[in-house]
Structure 1
Amino acid sequence: MNKNVNYGNWVPEKMLALCYVAAAVLGIAACVTGPVLHLVIPAWILGILAAICLVYGIYMHICHELFAFGKGNMMAKVHQHLVDHLEWDGEGTLLDIGCGAAALTIRCAKAFPKAKLVGMDYWGVEWNYAKEQCEANAKAEGVADRITFHKGDAAHLEDPDETFDATVSNFVFHEVRSVKDKRDVVREALRIVKKGGAFSFQDMFSQKALYGDMEEFVEELKKEGVIEIHYIGNLEKKLDFIPGYAAAPWMISGMGILYGRK
């Protein structure tokens, strides 16, 4: 891995710090409440909460190392899985919706050396990513001359219909808050793909609370004009590089891929 890039992590270091700090504070409170104040039951409750925070922090730390570029590399492998399902010759322009720190955008730039690329993201203070970070990463990886980045909303893309030859997105659609129905985010992503253009999207597609019946949704998209579309669900159970502990309900449970040609 290029030491000059910072692609971040799906488990932010701030979250790890919060877990460990909470465990320490609750542990100290338990020690004070029990031996000092002689409040046995509250002390036990605080102690149990401290243990839960500590165990959760350790679990998330393990996941952090698993996901990290240059370490466990699972984020890189997930991105490669998406690119492997993008049936595109690399001629033209590609949009990465929700590019984060541009890890997927840059992977696409290297996979398709003739392509021009656009990375779009909402960014914001709650995410450990920024436009400047994307630009620095692209420069460090030697592909800055073919990529531009801009801020945007995945549910309301500024691009006209059929703008791009290819479109990708990874674990973004379920995070979009400007629309309630996540299927509308998928439709918006398809709107800006040219007729005959390629797309590859990965998200929590197998979570029915988010997307309902995906087989039914695929049929709807076919009727709406998508000429070729494939769906593979529950990838966390099918991809050998995803260990069972990373497929917890709050992690990568319900992962699916939607790909094809418009």
Structure 2
Amino acid sequence: MKADYKNWMPRGMVMGTGVGTIAFLVLYLIFGVSSIIPEGNTKRVIGIVFLVLAIIFCVATIWMYLMYRAFSYNGKRQMSKQIIEGVASYVSIPDGGKGLDVGCGSGALTIACAKKNSAASFTGIDRWGKEYASFSKNLCESNSKAEGVSNTSFMQGDACKLPFEDETFDAVTSNYVYHNIPSSDRQAILLETLRTLKKGGTFICRYDDQGSEK
């Protein structure tokens, strides 16, 4: 049995933009090239609009496909694996301690931290929304079992209102999550996360802030 951590760039998104590219290209050929619409400004404008949309979707598809390949756990670059292992390398919890992974996705970071701290326990929490429909609690538990890790647990929850008492965890991690949470107050979300962290504990967060990594 092998762990399946999926991909941070969902295949459905890649396929969706690919289908969009084809659809707009077909519409361009029908309304901008064929004789369905008589020659003139109207046909020219409609043709340009559909052609531009086809180009935009094509560029987006190519970019998403390249990201899909880069983040694949089975690909050559394995960026996801490098990032996960890099974050986990900073997590050190005393025996009997507790760790939390906010937005655990497929469980990769939770499991990596649990492997490194075998005498501690780690909880992964995620809302597992429709945007990442292939991620689930069952997938996380299956991956944990495949990796031979028994000191993990997974639950569904909201990062904006974590179901934990203050100062519950010795370490809290989060990997590319906070920028995806709809909110006008990022500080409030971070403070909610930090609320669960013990004084002197470790907080490791990677997120995308308008294209930059933190």
Give the structure-1-normalised TM-score. Answer: 0.73
Distance in 2 (CA, whole Å) between partners of 1:126 and 1:101 is: 13
Deviation track 1:34-86 (CA, whole Å, cap 9, x = no partner) reads 22324233223312321221122011101110011121211111222222333
| Number of residue-to-residue matches in the alignment | 206
Per the TM alignment, residue 195 of structure 1 is displaced from its structure 2 partner at its CA by 2.3
Alignment partner of 1:62 out of 38, 63, 66: 66
Deviation of residue 165 (structure 1)? 1.4
Q: Deviations over 1:175-228 (max 9, x none)?
A: 233x53111121121111122222211113xx4xxxxxxxxxxxxxxxxxxxxx
2:105/2:128 contact within 8 Å kept = yes
Counterpart Cα distance in 1 of 2:107 and 2:132:
13
Counterpart residue identity of residue 190, structure 2: V
Q: For 2:78, which of 73, 78, 86 is the aligned residue?
A: 73
Q: Which runs of 5+ in 2 are unaligned?
A: none
Distance 1:30 1:138 in 2: 48
- Where 1:126 maps in the other structure, the secondary structure is helix
Q: CA deviation at 1:95?
A: 0.8
Distance 2:181 2:49 in 1: 37
CA distance in 1, matches of 2:19, 2:51: 14
Aligned position for 2:165: 160
Return 5+ residue gaps in structure 1 as ranges: 208-248, 257-262
1:198 equivalenced with 2:156 (yes/no):
no
Letter in 2 for 1:62: L
**For residue 30 of structure 1, what is the aligned residue in structure 2?**
28
Deviations 1:80-119 (A, max 9, x none): 2222333545651111111011011111112222221111
Worse-matched range after superposition: 62-71 or 188-197: 188-197
Q: How big is the shift at 1:134?
A: 0.7
Following the alignment from structure 1 to structure 2, what is the Cα–Cα distance between the partners of residues 50 and 175?
27
Q: Distance in 1 between matches of 2:131 and 2:19?
A: 19
Aligned CA RMSD, in angstroms, stands at: 1.8
Q: Which residues of 2 match residues 1-262 of structure 1 at below 5 A?
A: 4-33=2-31, 34-37=33-36, 38=39, 39-71=43-75, 72-89=77-94, 91-128=96-133, 129-143=135-149, 145-177=150-182, 179-204=183-208, 207=209, 253-256=211-214
Query: How far apart, in 1, do the equivalents of 2:82 and 2:3 lie?
Result: 17
Distance in 1, matches of 2:115 and 2:90, equals 15
Cα distance change, pair 17–172 in 1 and its aligned pair in 2 (3 A): same
Q: CA deviation at 1:164?
A: 1.1
Q: Which amino acid aligns with 2:16?
A: L
Contact conserved, 2:87 with 2:204, CA < 8 A, in 1? yes
Aligned partner letter, 2:131: E
Cα separation, 1, equivalents of 2:169 and 2:179: 22
1:5 to partner: Cα distance: 2.1
Which secondary structure does the structure 1 equivalent of 2:8 belong to?
A: coil
Percent identical pairs in the alignment equals 32
Distance 2:81 2:95 in 1: 20
**In the TM superposition, what whole-angstrom CA distance separates every residue of 1:2-37 from its partner, at most 9, and x where no partner exists?**
x72221222111111111111111111111112232
- 1:212 is matched with none
Letter in 2 for 1:141: E
Judge conservation of contact 2:91–2:113 (CA < 8 Å) in 1: no
